[in-house]
Amino acid sequence: MSATTAAAVTPEPGHGPDQPPSALKARLGLTNGWGEWLRARGVYLALIVLVAYNALFTFNFLTLATIQLLFAQLPPVIIVSLGMALVIGTGGVDLSVGAIMAIASAVLARFVLAPGDGGLGASIGVAMLFAVVAGVLVGAFNGTVVAVARVQPIVATLGMLVAGRGIALVITGGALIELFVPFFRTVRLGKLLGVPYVMWVAAILAVAAAILVRRSAFGYRLLAIGGNRRASVLAGLPVQRTLITVYAISGGLAAVAGVIATARLRASDPSFTGLLIELTAITAVVVGGGALAGGQVRILGTVVGAVFIQLLETTLVSHNVPDSGARIVEALIIIAAIYVQRSRSTS
């Protein structure tokens, strides 16, 4: 995690009024001091406030059990949000992540089930591999529709949102499939240095995503396309290939989240696995300071955004706020987050 921290908190080069215009400056926008600070770092402040509030007013908050619960709930949200951050960085959006989670879960179930139960009797490793491959393929299909057919991302992934859950239901025959896999116990309960395995997976993926965005040519292409697609085409960047890859990554990450969710549930439930997670993921990216217009990816901000939203939900639940109230609060937070960002979009 420290790698992402360093990368995201260090002031961006070229981000000052005196320096000559640079690609970085352009993609950060020319917003001024306080507003810019609040926009980019507000989520850290918000998280600190929320943690402080809980430490003071929530009974039993500062216990291992609470943190364990949070660690168990967080990984799928974080992993999906990472993919969403990349897609939003290209100026797109991926509404199909929840459906892809369901597809991955269904594929996993079909591979793992014994041949007598209508499955393939594969080992859990093979099953997980194919589940992720399925996610990558669906994502690549999304990317192709967006990049080659040039359909708006909202509509393209909307079609997959509708069709994808149907595909998952077709794969499992429309029913919830209970899975008795010993490995799932390891996924649920296994720990390294006191931190659950799944949390490590999320952390490693976050670091990988940060390196991809900040240190690779692919990352720069991604940001360039999000900043100005036409210019990227004219500059000779492989726009289509890059976009397809980004959506494929998002699909693959969603599939990983689907596998984790399945392990937690000990069953494949295509009707509910990943339902509405696209909203949470988009919120995490936006709250984390990502610009919907594209051209910018904040990995650490996104992770903190995801933690913030999950912790907010936990807080509301532990204070007996009903689910309805939690939804209303979440809506207000989304609006507040983009309102703080407004300075960028209007500049």
Measured from the CB atom, the residue of 7 and 158 that comes closer to another protein is 158
Q: Is 229 left (phi over 0), alpha (psi -120 to 50) or beta?
A: alpha
CB contact burial 280-314 (16+ within 10 A = b; e otherwise): bbbbbbbbbbbbbebbbbbbbbbbbbbbbbbbbbb
- What's the closest the beta carbon of residue 148 comes to another protein, in angstroms? 9
In terms of CB distance, is 70 or 338 closer to another protein? 338
Whole-number minimum distance, CB 194 to another protein, in Å? Answer: 34
- Residue whose tokens read 């692919």: 218
Can you spell out the DSSP letters for 186-198?
HHHH-EETTEEHH
SS3 167: helix
Q: Are strands 195-196 and 177-178 parallel, antiparallel or unpaired?
A: unpaired
Complex with another protein: residue 98 or 196, whichever CB lies closer: 98
Shortest distance in whole angstroms from residue 204 CB to another protein: 30
The angle at the Cα of 17, spanning 12 to 19, to the nearest 5 degrees, equals 70
Binding site for another protein (CB under 8 A): 93, 145, 149-152, 154-156, 158-167, 169-170, 174, 279, 282, 286, 292, 322-328, 330-332, 334-335, 338-339, 342, 345-346
Q: Minimum distance between the CB of residue 105 and another protein, rounded to whole angstroms?
A: 14
The pair of three-digit structure tokens given for residue 95, joined into one six-digit string: 């509404």
Note whether 3 and 204 are within 8 A (CB). Answer: no
Other beta carbons within 10 angstroms of residue 62's beta carbon come to: 11
Q: What are the φ and ψ backbone dihedral angles of 268, each rounded to 5 degrees?
A: -105, 115
User: Could you give the count of Cα atoms lying within 13 Å of 290 in the half-sphere of its Cβ?
Assistant: 36
Question: What minimum distance in Å lies between the beta carbon of 128 and another protein?
Answer: 24
Q: Nearest distance from residue 332's CB to another protein, in Å?
A: 7
Closest distance to another protein from the beta carbon of 93 (Å): 7
CB of 69 to another protein, least distance (A): 22
Taking the least distance from each CB to another protein, the nearer of 4 and 172 is: 172
Nearer to another protein, 36 or 313 (CB): 313
CB nearer another protein, residue 132 or residue 167? 167
Give whichever of 55 and 155 is closer to another protein, judged by the CB atom: 155
Closest to 346 measured CA to CA, from 14, 34, 30: 30
Q: Specify the residue, 77 or 160, whose C-beta has the smaller distance to another protein.
A: 160
What is the C-alpha to C-alpha distance for residues 181 and 129, in angstroms, rounded to an integer? 15
- With H, G, I as helix, E, B as strand and everything else as coil, classify residue 21: coil
